[in-house]
Structure 1
């Protein structure tokens, strides 16, 4: 009979745990990343900019194709005419109609424009590459924002668990001291102290639960996803091996997105210099046309009415060369050279800042990892201390004040451990971004 009762209790407990787990939707890191990439407004705007740049770099925007235009027209006039000729009677003509029809097809093609088309076309390709890098930068910054909120939410979840356990222990302690007071083993002060501790723990739990709900809303804004407030996140954390991190740092200069962006801007500035020189070169254009015209004229005192139709082809080549433009081309060349030099200086500055940021981030990451390991050990120590204190409290060898102090020490150690763990992981994520490996890492 006892075995059946134990089995029934275990079964009910298992069903309760499973139903509670099913009621909470777990948002994994992979799902959160996917939601950000699919739904975040800033990323959508960046992707649209890439699409625009892709359209601009196509052959249809290159200037290499000819232009073909057509024009058509029709003119109509209705007039009265009085012709007075010496030696003849006046000739009065009314409702004289004149009609003109015309249509033409024009073809124009630039044979040579001083290499301007070539440089523009290459520059548009570089602009497309730049837009991709800028989109990647937006994605990385958004992911950093998302992970900051995600790990903050994970920390809040673990803190709520800790505070719930603390409140449970405080309630058990209150119940115990109430029994002891009823049997005259302790005075009323111990009961009052236990009641105060339960109230304080309840308040702390309520505050942390509210912070948890607020953080959930922050995360939903970043990922732009419709989820119920019952969802939770994956609180597990795995760290990238330190040797792999060091390898990422060695390759950071080639992979960092800020360095890649300035290098792309440097190439674009180089084409600006080349484009400036095209002002010294001639332009050669080819044109061709086909035209059709018809004129319907009324009769005049000297000529009968007539209808004239003409059609034909025309073609030609035009050469234009701006021999002197008042020095504007020279100024553009000088400014383009100065702008290119500024881009080179900017590149060195960015590389310097990136190297500094990586060193700082790496040192911060190592310190966070060390603190995390210390806090983990500290939790174990305080847990052992609390377990022994609880055993002694149960047999009356430790008073309520000592029990409460051990409980608070364990609470502080656990919350500090949670903070250290997610701070270390966030420091790793920031380091991965600086080394250009954030989008290449599985979370």
Structure 2
């Protein structure tokens, strides 16, 4: 009872230390990553660029308006001979000219090329949204890979702490027995060796835990300036339907959605290329002002003109050396390639989904077996400990039971988080990773 009280006290101390630190829940971790992860920030900026490109301001549907203005000044030496024979000589005759105009150009019809280009830009924006979503999905999966690694090492550290506490209790017992002549010095030395090994394992685990927390903080953009712990409570109480999940995969898988969007863009690219076969009709207009200040040799001293002009123009590229034909043919080949890629993605998707589903089911079953094995190992250790106290088993047998319990706990921790990551992998393939509550 005394030994169990000491062990319970150590566990409570460790629990109190953990309780004093911030517990970072999976939901909070996702929020921090979405807000501060550099990869996600870059993806959002690229999405803003695509949004700007998809604006009406970049569509070619709006007219262009330009303003022009100019001025000139000259000093001339002029000799003018009139029809009556008179001669006039002007030295330093000054003249100046001023002009300003506003010009408008607007394409009324270009074979619907602008319309298809604008639709392409809209689809490009939606494709950028899917690419941003892919970045978010990959970041979230990366986040949980590190998050659950921290959780696993945290539980490993607790298990190693318990192992060290048991070894310390064994050393004290060995020293008492040696002092009272009930055992040899060898039992004390063996206990000290085991404590050293357990201490080294604990030190390595604590260092690994610190490193993993730093890795997790990098995913957050290194914004956490204090120590934290993660939630080690994981539940597997969601019952997934394989057929329903696969149907979602065929409509929501991010790679499949991107190739479908690329196919739509290629279709518009073909139509845009074919628009070059049609003529272009444009409208132009201008409003201008001109003023001339002539020198004395001119017939008019000052002339001022203002006026509005407008017109239509038609341009038809009857043959451009085959450039349009080549562009359309290449666009059609590109569309065919993307359709083949879609078929390949569908084949790979079915394989990857089935692999992920089976992997999840297997790892979940392994975790349940490992969890059940904990009770068996704990029962075996408790019985061995009682016999050890009664002198019915030696220290080697006791140590083996202790290591069996520790290894069972470490194996359970590995299986636990591998099963959770397998579940997340399955959800990512199905396109449901961002639709579940963490």
User: TM-score under structure 1 normalisation?
Assistant: 0.93
Tell me the secondary structure at the aligned position of residue 243 of structure 1.
Answer: coil
Tell me the secondary structure at the aligned position of residue 240 of structure 2.
Answer: helix
8 Å contact 1:171–1:198 — kept in the other structure? yes
1:69 to 51, 59, 66: 66
Alpha-carbon separation, structure 1, partners of 2:176 and 2:48: 73
Alpha-carbon separation, structure 1, partners of 2:242 and 2:31: 24
8 Å contact 1:23–1:230 — kept in the other structure? no
Aligned residue number for residue 379 of structure 1: 374
2:46 to 43, 46, 49: 49
1:138 to 135, 138, 146: 135
Aligned residue number for residue 147 of structure 2: 150
Aligned residue number for residue 394 of structure 2: 399
Aligned residue number for residue 75 of structure 2: 78
In structure 2, do the counterparts of structure 1 residues 246 and 403 end up closer, same or farther at CA, with 3 Å as the change threshold? farther
Alpha-carbon separation, structure 2, partners of 1:304 and 1:118: 54
In structure 2, do the counterparts of structure 1 residues 181 and 239 end up closer, same or farther at CA, with 3 Å as the change threshold? same
8 Å contact 2:54–2:118 — kept in the other structure? yes
Alpha-carbon separation, structure 2, partners of 1:424 and 1:108: 64
Alpha-carbon separation, structure 2, partners of 1:312 and 1:20: 86
Tell me the secondary structure at the aligned position of residue 120 of structure 1.
Answer: helix
Aligned residue number for residue 415 of structure 2: 420
Alpha-carbon separation, structure 1, partners of 2:62 and 2:397: 87
Structure 1 segment 313-332 matched on structure 2, within 5 A: 313-332=308-327
* Greater shift in the superposed pair: 150-159 or 352-361: 352-361
Aligned residue number for residue 356 of structure 1: 351
1:306 to 285, 294, 301: 301
8 Å contact 2:10–2:165 — kept in the other structure? no
Alpha-carbon separation, structure 2, partners of 1:329 and 1:57: 24
8 Å contact 2:11–2:162 — kept in the other structure? no
The count of residues paired between Structure 1 and Structure 2 equals 430
1:239 deviates by: 2.0
2:291 is the alignment partner of 1:289? no
* Greater shift in the superposed pair: 306-315 or 78-87: 78-87
2:336 is the alignment partner of 1:341? yes
1:270 to 267, 270, 283: 267
Tell me the secondary structure at the aligned position of residue 251 of structure 1.
Answer: helix
1:243 deviates by: 3.0
8 Å contact 1:130–1:265 — kept in the other structure? yes
Alpha-carbon separation, structure 1, partners of 2:63 and 2:146: 54
Tell me the secondary structure at the aligned position of residue 97 of structure 1.
Answer: strand
Alpha-carbon separation, structure 2, partners of 1:46 and 1:240: 34
In structure 2, do the counterparts of structure 1 residues 95 and 22 end up closer, same or farther at CA, with 3 Å as the change threshold? farther
Deviations 1:6-31 (A, max 9, x none): xxxxxx99997886345311111001
Query: Any stretches of 5+ residues in structure 2 without a counterpart?
Result: 1-8
Deviations 1:117-154 (A, max 9, x none): 11011111101110000000000001111100000000
Aligned residue number for residue 199 of structure 1: 196
Aligned residue number for residue 432 of structure 2: 437
Task: Calculate the aligned-residue CA RMSD, in Å.
Answer: 2.0
* Greater shift in the superposed pair: 226-235 or 392-401: 226-235
Tell me the secondary structure at the aligned position of residue 388 of structure 1.
Answer: helix
Aligned residue number for residue 168 of structure 1: 165
1:258 deviates by: 0.5
Deviations 1:400-439 (A, max 9, x none): 1110000000010000000000000000001100000000
Alpha-carbon separation, structure 2, partners of 1:349 and 1:18: 52
Aligned residue number for residue 241 of structure 1: 238
In structure 2, do the counterparts of structure 1 residues 177 and 18 end up closer, same or farther at CA, with 3 Å as the change threshold? closer
Alpha-carbon separation, structure 1, partners of 2:44 and 2:199: 47
8 Å contact 1:36–1:224 — kept in the other structure? yes
1:36 to 23, 27, 33: 33
Alpha-carbon separation, structure 1, partners of 2:35 and 2:293: 65
Tell me the secondary structure at the aligned position of residue 364 of structure 1.
Answer: helix
Aligned residue number for residue 56 of structure 2: 59
Structure 1 segment 208-223 matched on structure 2, within 5 A: 208-223=205-220
Query: Any stretches of 5+ residues in structure 1 without a counterpart?
Result: 1-11
2:85 is the alignment partner of 1:111? no
